[in-house]
Structure 1
Amino acid sequence: MLLKSSKINEFRLWGLLLTMGGMLIMIIGLAGVVFDWGAVGRIIAVIFLILGMISMLGSMAIYFWAGMMSTSAVALDCPECGKRTKMIGKTDRCMFCKTILTVDPSMAPAEAEISDEGNIRQPETGSATTAIDSSKN
């Protein structure tokens, strides 16, 4: 569970990795010019700068895509930590406490119980899977 995150945060992570990777590729490419490797160094610099630029443009596309998905995501309060989180699809994780959330009661565990608010909630001793009743929204 340490490396699991919500879907929106996963997209943002990949965008950040592409940004950092693109900058690193561009910095490596500049070594051809900085260390004065002649014509070969300039060709290496151009190739690496183009690859870094492509990586940066890919990062921009991923950030744009994550932003568009974030605007249409279902915003709800996490039953475990009480913080406002966004959910994409039928199942997702809380952005803060990593609790598995779902809007489909059929995907909730069999031993889950329905609270007075209409949320399907698993007992505290089991895993933290929670189903949110979306018919109230």
Structure 2
Amino acid sequence: MRLKSSKVNEFRLWGLLLTMGGLLLMIIGTVGIVFKWGAVGQVIAAIFMILGLISVMTSMGVYFWAGMLSTSAVILQCPECGKTTKVLGKVDRCMFCKTILSLDPAHAPAEARPSDEIGRQA
């Protein structure tokens, strides 16, 4: 099983990866200037700076989107760890202990349902 996180944390992770990737692209782009490759080095630096800028601006959009989703998320207390967490959609995971949470009993995980309900659905 892959380790999963809550949806809000997944969006934040993508924003962080885009930020770090954009900054790495910008650093790689400076190689053309540092090694004094002349006009070719300046073109390489400009291309990588623009790609890095696009990546950083995209990450800013992802962070903004995650923030807007976070403000409208349902806040509840996790039954497993007791901490307050946010739920996006019908099924999500706790931000802290990764327990599957559901607002709709029909979408609850099989372990959380009583055994008589599981027998009726089969």
Report the equivalent of 1:20: 20
Report the equivalent of 2:10: 10
Report the equivalent of 2:98: 98
| 1:1-137 map, 5 Å | 3-108=3-108, 109=110, 112-113=113-114
Tell me the distance in 1 between the aligned counterparts of 2:25 and 2:112. 51
Whichever residue aligns with residue 67 of structure 2, its letter is G
Superposed CA RMSD in Å reads 1.3
Change in 2 beyond 3 A, CA 1:53/1:111: closer
Tell me the distance in 2 between the aligned counterparts of 1:107 and 1:63. 28
How far apart are residue 103 of structure 1 and its match? 0.4
Gaps of 5+ in 1: 114-137
Secondary structure of the structure 2 residue equivalent to 1:98: coil
Tell me the distance in 2 between the aligned counterparts of 1:99 and 1:72. 21
How far apart are residue 3 of structure 1 and its match? 2.1
Report the equivalent of 1:128: none
Gaps of 5+ in 2: 115-122
Matched residue pairs, number?
Answer: 113
- Give the fraction of aligned pairs with identical amino acids, expressed as a percent: 70
Higher helix share: 2
Deviations 1:7-47, CA, capped at 9 Å, x for gaps: 00000000000000000000000010111000000000000
Whichever residue aligns with residue 39 of structure 1, its letter is A
Tell me the distance in 1 between the aligned counterparts of 2:43 and 2:15. 27
Select the structure with the greater relative contact order (CA < 8 A; seq sep ≥ 6): 2
Secondary structure of the structure 2 residue equivalent to 1:64: helix
Query: Runs of 4 or more off by more than 3 Å in structure 1?
Result: none
Secondary structure of the structure 1 residue equivalent to 2:75: strand
How far apart are residue 81 of structure 1 and its match? 0.2
